[in-house]
Amino acid sequence: MRFEIEPNNGAPIFEQLVRQIKFAVAEGILVPGQMISSTRDLAKQLAINPNTVQRAFAQLQGENVLEVQRGRGVSVCVDAKKHCVSQRRELLGERMAAVIQEAINSGLGAEQITSLFEQNLKRLSR
Amino acid sequence: MRFEIEPNNGAPIFEQLVRQIKFAVAEGILVPGQMISSTRDLAKQLAINPNTVQRAFAQLQGENVLEVQRGRGVSVCVDAKKHCVSQRRELLGERMAAVIQEAINSGLGAEQITSLFEQNLKRLSR
Amino acid sequence: MRFEIEPNNGAPIFEQLVRQIKFAVAEGILVPGQMISSTRDLAKQLAINPNTVQRAFAQLQGENVLEVQRGRGVSVCVDAKKHCVSQRRELLGERMAAVIQEAINSGLGAEQITSLFEQNLKRLSR
Amino acid sequence: MRFEIEPNNGAPIFEQLVRQIKFAVAEGILVPGQMISSTRDLAKQLAINPNTVQRAFAQLQGENVLEVQRGRGVSVCVDAKKHCVSQRRELLGERMAAVIQEAINSGLGAEQITSLFEQNLKRLSR
DNA sequence: GTGGTCTAGACCACG
DNA sequence: GTGGTCTAGACCACC
């Protein structure tokens, strides 16, 4: 299990972590029922503050993605996958829509936006 | 000249304004040499604080997009258009690339990402 | 009689004009007793606001460099030259001292500052 | 780390601070990677408003001299020194050139300007 | 604790 | 009238 944190991304670190854990569950990298690294370990791995990990975990508990096994650690909820799969599409769709909207507002036409998309997709998908 | 400010966008208001002014110059809505609405007027139009407008102007001065005509107001730099056109592509490209990267990291394949893009583009481009 | 105004110099335009008129008197380009261009003409020549010229003239009257000949115009005071010569050295000395002081504060040694001075002098004095 | 702010200098306070921080990095007084005093502390030390410090910091971030460590504070960019060293020479050179240019325009010859420089350097460099 | 943003209002310099 | 600067204080997000 490996996450990519970009500290100067603009997006809060805890939120990056929340999204990536959801995506990992959606993708099947994290399996329902599976125990997750401890808060402290994960913080060490990612070189971030344990409180930040804690905050991400807290939010994920609130969304029934993670649950605490008292005294043992944190695990993925057994029924989290379906939720995460739909969330993945939703979360990515929101960002995608926001970019497209800004491009439209800036005066670009559909073809130009499509070209922008395809160039970047090609560049990144190797 | 009309800008759309979304106060609860996550993005700072002054930054939204900076981007939109650049895009307006790129698009030719703001013509090089043209005087821009005064700080106070623009603040009134957008229902935001004059200092917020000023902050946007200050940043745009630092990037040689705007220049102050002392005692007269603020105008678009004569050679700003080229810079703004390239910046528009760059700024939008960065956001687009970030979305695509996150989608890739989340396990989606190129077709799925393309589908996500096309759906949203179609929905928004009317 | 030709003055060089740099609108985006940081220094107020009226002050640039005040200094240059003083220097012109010191140098003998403006002769005591000589009539000076009218406010309006000078403003047109320099492409600045007549009020700005007016403000410079007002300050120079306060320092007994210029005097109004009622109904005829503005002339250089007959005894202005001596004052202007000494002012020239003083005004330039102040600016020179300020630069040197900042250079010292920034950690440069006397040799480095001298080198900075000589390079620029050489470059500009052709 | 000690800065000298002159409130009635003509130069804006935030700009004085920007220059002095750059010079401190150039001189090695501020080391790349080093955390800087917090905005609030620095404001207290200098007896100025925290927002004024913030404005200086914001500009220095835009020039890649400082960077924020989210939630921890502000530090000097690791590769800032080279930039600051060259900027120091450039910034001081600009002011020096401006003074020399004005002296030349005022009719002084190279020897007189040199004398003006040497007198002030001698006086200030003890 | 840190910095970031925004608002409000005062004052000034300039034209 | 214009913009520039500074102060003051509130609120927020993040760690």
Average pLDDT over residues D44-58: 97
Average pLDDT over residues A91-99: 96
Give CA angle at A81 (A79, A87), nearest 5°. Answer: 120
| pLDDT 10s digits, C20-73 | 999 999 999 999 999 999 999 999 999 999 999 999 999 999 999 999 998 889
Q: Is the pLDDT of residue C92 over 90?
A: yes
Residue nearest to nucleotide E8 (CA to C1'): B49
pLDDT at residue B1, rounded to an integer: 67
pLDDT at residue A1, rounded to an integer: 61
B121 and chain A: CB distance < 8 Å anywhere? yes
Distances (CA, A) of D78 to A73, C63, D38, D82: 38, 52, 18, 10
**B62 interaction partners in chain D (CB closer than 8 Å):** 59, 62
> pLDDT band at residue D40, thresholds of 50, 70 and 90?
very high
| B and D: number of Cβ contacts within 8 A | 3
Give CA angle at D21 (A8, C118), nearest 5°. Answer: 130
Residue of D nearest to C90 (CA): D116
Interface present between A and B (3 or more CB pairs within 8 Å): yes
> pLDDT band at residue B2, thresholds of 50, 70 and 90?
confident
**Taking a contact as any Cβ pair under 8 Å apart, which residues of chain D between 101 and 120 contact chain A?**
none
How far, in whole angstroms, is CA D91 from its chain's centroid? 8
- Of all nucleotides, the one whose C1′ comes closest to residue D68's CA is E3
pLDDT at residue A71, rounded to an integer: 86
| d(CA B70, C1' F8) / Å | 28
Q: Which DSSP category does B66 fall into?
A: E
Residues 6+ apart with CB under 8 A from A123: B97
pLDDT at residue D48, rounded to an integer: 96
| C and D: number of Cβ contacts within 8 A | 100
**C13 interaction partners in chain B (CB closer than 8 Å):** 70
| pLDDT 10s digits, D73-124 | 999 999 999 999 999 999 999 999 999 999 999 999 999 999 999 999 999 9
| pLDDT 10s digits, A6-32 | 988 889 999 999 999 999 999 999 999
Q: Is the pLDDT of residue A52 over 70?
A: yes
Residues 6+ apart with CB under 8 A from B69: B35, B75, C7
Kindly write down the DSSP assignment for every residue of chain D, as one continuous string. Answer: ------TTSSS-HHHHHHHHHHHHHHHTSS-TTPBPPPHHHHHHHHTS-HHHHHHHHHHHHHTTSEEEETTTEEEE-TTHHHHHHHHHHHHHHHHHHHHHHHHHHTT--HHHHHHHHHHHHHHH--
Cα–Cα distance for residue pair B93/B12, rounded to 1 Å? 20
Is C49–B69 a contact, with Cβ atoms under 8 angstroms apart? no
Indicate the SS3 state at residue A108. Answer: coil
Any strand E atom closer than 7 Å to C23 CB: no
C8 and chain B: CB distance < 8 Å anywhere? yes
Average pLDDT over residues B45-70: 96
Cα–Cα distance for residue pair A23/C97, rounded to 1 Å? 63
Residue of C nearest to D25 (CA): C106
**C33 torsion bin: left (phi>0), alpha (psi -120 to 50), beta (else):** left
How confident is the prediction for chain D on average, in pLDDT?
95
pLDDT at residue D1, rounded to an integer: 66
Cα–Cα distance for residue pair A25/A82, rounded to 1 Å? 9
Cα–Cα distance for residue pair C67/C30, rounded to 1 Å? 13
Number of H helices, E strands in chain B: 5, 2
**A13 vs chain D: nearest CA distance in angstroms?**
9
Nearest to B97 by CA among B83, B115, B117: B117
| pLDDT 10s digits, B76-87 | 999 999 999 999
Give the pTM: 0.92
**C103 interaction partners in chain D (CB closer than 8 Å):** 92, 96
Cα–Cα distance for residue pair B102/A121, rounded to 1 Å? 11
Q: What is the torsional sign of CA A82, A88, A91, A92?
A: negative
Q: Is the pLDDT of residue B67 over 90?
A: yes
Q: Which DSSP category does B91 fall into?
A: H
Interface present between C and A (3 or more CB pairs within 8 Å): no
**D46 vs chain C: nearest CA distance in angstroms?**
17
Any strand E atom closer than 7 Å to B56 CB: no
Instruction: Please give residues of chain B from 33 to 52 whose alpha-adjacent beta carbon (CB) lies under 7 Å from any atom of strand E.
Output: 48-49, 51-52
Nearest to B38 by CA among B48, B53, B58: B53
10 Å CB burial of residue D25 (0-12, 13-18, 19+) is buried
Is C49–B71 a contact, with Cβ atoms under 8 angstroms apart? yes
Q: Is the pLDDT of residue D126 over 90?
A: no
